[in-house]
């Protein structure tokens, strides 16, 4: 068994608005993912034939993202045909789970080099399209939850109400995300992680809005209220808007993960190592609160406390999620999403996990931090987490 699973490199595309006309909307998702696979082996002068597996995350596996998009991207990237690829769906945490599976395969001694990656083209394969108009639940799940489950936006509303976050709280957090991301972008902090996309002449994240303020967000209407939902949840005053939610996004990202021995043999310098992993289920009605127990579990497994962590990446699916996480964990707010989060940098579903890892590793290097903790809330009531250590 390998003693360590190390991160040699992490890359991502710039993020585009996940709507027709977004800057990446003209790129087929297979080509989008193939681009980061090519970039990560080229940047490290790695023979792609030495890669044992490519594990990719993608949520809407239908249409252009069907038929095992990761394997298709491996072939499109020009990797030798003997290099396999598989696509997994743990909802928003899909590519974070891909990184976990990659590291676990290496720690188990079953692989030496694995690329974890993810992609989502929400402009070309719309959110929810994978259900294809069919019932994804069945009678037994409906019997367990007779009142019915709800969409993530309503879950975010329930969280805001339970933890008592005002509309001002949510909008202020959203403005913070844009401010931090704009500052990071202007300083060149993203320059080493963003790779070009063929046929696209921009390298700037399209979803970041400099100058966003809580005041400018205050005029937006609630995004998820309906009369039927208002009748079911009379306690809600409907505070979740497009401004304090993550936008629909296109993007791809990848992480090159190896055993420490393989990196040494290849003359590659590890940038970080994995210290611990966790995955949990949570209440599927509130859906997005699993980040709280996932954090506690991964810290216990790593033998660390919040005092040891230098930076956190908690996915900003909605502002109420990281705010609830802060309230329950007592973590230092200044360590949370220090380069902005998904409200500004987008949430390209299947790509988000390795996108967050890319940003986290680069931030630890830039600041001299040692430990980073990343956690993602997920559809259906789940969350995963890991702790990485800069080396």
Active-site residue, from 58, 117, 178, 347: 347
Q: Provide φ and ψ at 142, rounded to 5°.
A: -65, -35
Distance CA 81, CA 71 (A): 10
Query: If DSSP codes are grouped into helix, strand and coil, which group holds residue 65?
Result: helix
pLDDT of residue 227: 98
Active-site residue, from 58, 117, 363, 377: 377
Alpha helices (runs of H) in the chain, residue ranges in sequence order: 29-43, 69-76, 94-107, 138-144, 152-163, 167-187, 214-217, 227-232, 260-266, 291-302, 320-329, 342-345, 352-367
Query: If DSSP codes are grouped into helix, strand and coil, which group holds residue 380?
Result: coil
Alpha helices (runs of H) in 188-290, residue ranges in sequence order: 214-217, 227-232, 260-266
Distance CA 347, CA 118 (A): 12
Are the beta carbons of 84 and 74 closer than 8 angstroms? Answer: yes
Q: Which two tokens stand for residue 64?
A: 């252009």
Count of residues in the chain:
391
Task: Please state the pTM of the whole predicted model.
Answer: 0.98
Are the beta carbons of 40 and 115 closer than 8 angstroms? Answer: yes
Look up 82 and say whether it is catalytic. no
Are the beta carbons of 91 and 281 closer than 8 angstroms? Answer: no
Are the beta carbons of 387 and 370 closer than 8 angstroms? Answer: no
Instruction: Per residue of the chain (391 residues), give pLDDT as tens.
Output: 567 999 999 999 999 999 999 999 999 999 999 999 999 999 999 999 999 999 999 999 999 999 999 999 999 999 999 999 999 999 999 999 999 999 999 999 999 999 999 999 999 999 999 999 999 999 999 999 999 999 999 999 999 999 999 999 999 999 999 999 999 999 999 999 999 999 999 999 999 999 999 999 999 999 999 999 999 999 999 999 999 999 999 999 999 999 999 999 999 999 999 999 999 999 999 999 999 999 999 999 999 999 999 999 999 999 999 999 999 999 999 999 999 999 999 999 999 999 999 999 999 999 999 999 999 999 999 999 999 999 9
Are the beta carbons of 244 and 171 closer than 8 angstroms? Answer: yes
Look up 58 and say whether it is catalytic. no
What are the C-alpha distances in Å from 13 to residues 141, 177, 339, 357?
A: 38, 19, 16, 13
- Residue linked to tokens 């890359």: 11
Between vectors from CA 82 to CA 79 and to CA 85, what angle results, nearest 5°?
70
Distance CA 255, CA 251 (A): 14
Q: Which of 194, 245, 212, 241 is nearest to 362 (CA)?
A: 194
Give, as one character, the DSSP assignment of residue 14.
Answer: P
Count of other CB atoms within 10 angstroms of residue 235:
8
Active-site residue, from 58, 92, 117, 178: 92
Distance CA 310, CA 336 (A): 9
HSE (side-chain half, CA atoms, 13 Å) at 307: 1
pLDDT of residue 83: 98
Look up 347 and say whether it is catalytic. yes
Are the beta carbons of 217 and 171 closer than 8 angstroms? Answer: yes
What are the C-alpha distances in Å from 50 to residues 22, 41, 71, 83, 114?
A: 35, 10, 16, 8, 9
Residues with Cβ within 8 Å of residue 231, at least 6 apart in sequence:
none
Region of 139 on the Ramachandran plot (φ > 0 left; ψ -120 to 50 alpha; else beta): alpha
pLDDT of residue 3: 78
Count of other CB atoms within 10 angstroms of residue 140:
7
Q: Provide φ and ψ at 86, rounded to 5°.
A: -140, 155
């Amino acid at each position: 068994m390998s003693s360590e699973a190390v991160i040699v490199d992490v890359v991502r595309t710039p993020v585009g608005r996940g709507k027709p006309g977004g800057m990446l909307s003209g790129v087929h998702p297979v080509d989008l993912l193939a681009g980061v696979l090519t970039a990560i082996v080229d940047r490290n002068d790695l023979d792609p034939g030495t890669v044992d597996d490519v594990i990719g995350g993608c949520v809407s596996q239908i249409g252009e993202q069907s038929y095992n998009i990761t394997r298709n991207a491996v072939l499109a990237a020009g990797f030798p045909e003997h290099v396999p690829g598989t696509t997994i769906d743990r909802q928003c945490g899909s590519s974070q789970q891909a990184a976990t599976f990659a590291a676990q395969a290496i720690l188990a001694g079953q692989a030496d080099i694995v690329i974890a990656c993810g992609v989502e083209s929400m402009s070309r394969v719309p959110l929810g399209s994978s259900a294809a108009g069919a019932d994804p639940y069945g009678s037994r799940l409906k019997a367990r939850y007779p009142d019915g489950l709800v969409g993530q936006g309503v879950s975010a509303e329930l969280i805001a109400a339970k933890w008592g976050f005002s509309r001002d709280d949510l909008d202020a957090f959203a403005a913070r995300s844009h401010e931090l991301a704009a500052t990071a972008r202007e300083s060149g902090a993203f320059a080493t992680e963003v790779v070009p996309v063929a046929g696209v002449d921009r390298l700037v994240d399209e979803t970041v809005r400099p100058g966003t303020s809580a005041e400018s967000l205050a005029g937006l209407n609630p995004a998820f209220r309906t009369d039927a939902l208002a009748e079911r949840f009379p306690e809600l005053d409907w505070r979740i808007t497009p401004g304090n939610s993550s936008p629909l996004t296109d993007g791809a990202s990848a992480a090159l993960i190896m055993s420490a021995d393989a990196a040494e043999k290849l003359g590659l310098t590890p940038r970080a190592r994995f210290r611990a992993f966790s995955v949990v289920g949570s209440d599927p009605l509130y859906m997005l609160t699993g980040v709280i127990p996932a954090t506690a579990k991964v810290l216990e497994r790593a033998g660390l406390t919040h005092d040891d962590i230098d930076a956190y990446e908690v996915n900003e699916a909605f502002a109420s999620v990281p705010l609830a996480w802060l309230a329950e964990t007592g973590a230092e707010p200044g360590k949370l999403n220090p380069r902005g989060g998904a409200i500004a940098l987008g949430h390209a579903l299947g790509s988000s996990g390795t996108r967050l890892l890319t940003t986290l590793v680069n931030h630890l290097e830039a600041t001299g931090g040692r430990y980073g903790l990343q956690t993602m809330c997920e559809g259906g009531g789940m969350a995963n987490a890991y702790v990485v250590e800069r080396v």
